[in-house]
Amino acid sequence: MTERVFSIAKSVLAVAVLLSLASAGGVLGYLRQPRELRFEPPVAADLDWFRLMSNGIGGTPPESYFALGKPYEADAYNLSQGKRLYAWFGCGTCHGDGRGGVGPSFLDGWWLYGPEMVSIVASIRDGRPHGMPAFRDRLTIEQIWQLAGYVQTIGSYSPKVAAPSRNDDKQTRPAENRGPAIILFDEGPVGVHPDQGPSP
């Protein structure tokens, strides 16, 4: 009799623990990533004020970017919006599905201007030599950061905690939420860009 009571109590306890863990997970997920649909105008305007090194490679994001918690690198909503913009603004025309085409690939481990967000934002906003157009008149600065976050995710060296929405079409390349991307690059970019030196 007592044994039965014990076993029932144990199952009730197990269910209770499971439920509280699940709800704690939900609360934690919400706290980690509350959805920010737009920033206050001065904050958004500040996103324009990053500093770039004089050679156009790398630099410092604005202070407010850190205060906001780097929202464009590992926030699933922003990455999804970036993926939408990638399709809407014809990035695929030159960069294909991320493997490049007329324009450089994002998946080969080579970042012509470095993998930093600031470099990617600058490339999209101001354009780059050899054909990359400037998008500053076609996208708001918030959208440019969203798109840059997505582009960085396509070719990131290490896995991110967040991923954009899945493709509805056939996968033609490793998904953005794949395992450690470094595995993909281990074969080395040497064969891909022999003219650009032995390592990325």
Partner 1 sequence: MAVASACSGKQSALDPHGGPAIHVEHLIIGIVAVCTVIWIVVIVVLGLALLRSRRAGAEDANSEGRLTTVVFAAVAASVVIIAGLTIASFYTTRNIGVPGSAALTITVRGQQWWWQVFYAGSDASRGFQTANEIHIPVGTDVQVRLEGVDVIHSFWVPSLAGKQDVVPGRSNSLLLRAEKPGAYRGQCAEFCGLQHSHMAVLVIAEAPADFERWAASQRGDALTPADPDAAAGQVAFLAKPCSACHTVRGTAAKGTTGPDLTHIGGRQTIAAGLLETTRGSLAAWIADPQTLKPGNNMPMVPLTSVELQNISAYMESLK
- Tell me: does residue 123 bind partner 1 (CB under 8 A): no
Q: Which residue's CB is nearer to partner 1, number 110 or number 150? A: 150
Q: Which of 76, 62, 91 is nearest to 149 (CA)?
A: 76
- Tell me: does residue 142 bind partner 1 (CB under 8 A): yes
Q: x/- site string to partner 1, residues 173 to 192, per CB under 8 A?
A: --------------------
Q: Which amino acid is at 162?
A: A
Of 41-49, 57-65, 171-179, 183-191, the window that binds partner 1 (rule: CB under 8 A) is 41-49
Are the beta carbons of 85 and 149 closer than 8 angstroms?
A: no
- Tell me: does residue 88 bind partner 1 (CB under 8 A): yes
- Tell me: does residue 170 bind partner 1 (CB under 8 A): no
> How are the residues of the chain apportioned to helix, strand and coil, as percentages rounded to the nearest 5?
45, 5, 50
Of 1-9, 10-18, 57-65, 137-145, the window that binds partner 1 (rule: CB under 8 A) is 137-145
Sign of CA dihedral 184, 182, 145, 74: positive
Beta strands in the chain (DSSP E): 51-52, 59-60
Q: What are the residues binding partner 1 (CB under 8 A)?
A: 35, 37-38, 41, 44-45, 81, 84, 88-89, 137-140, 142-143, 168
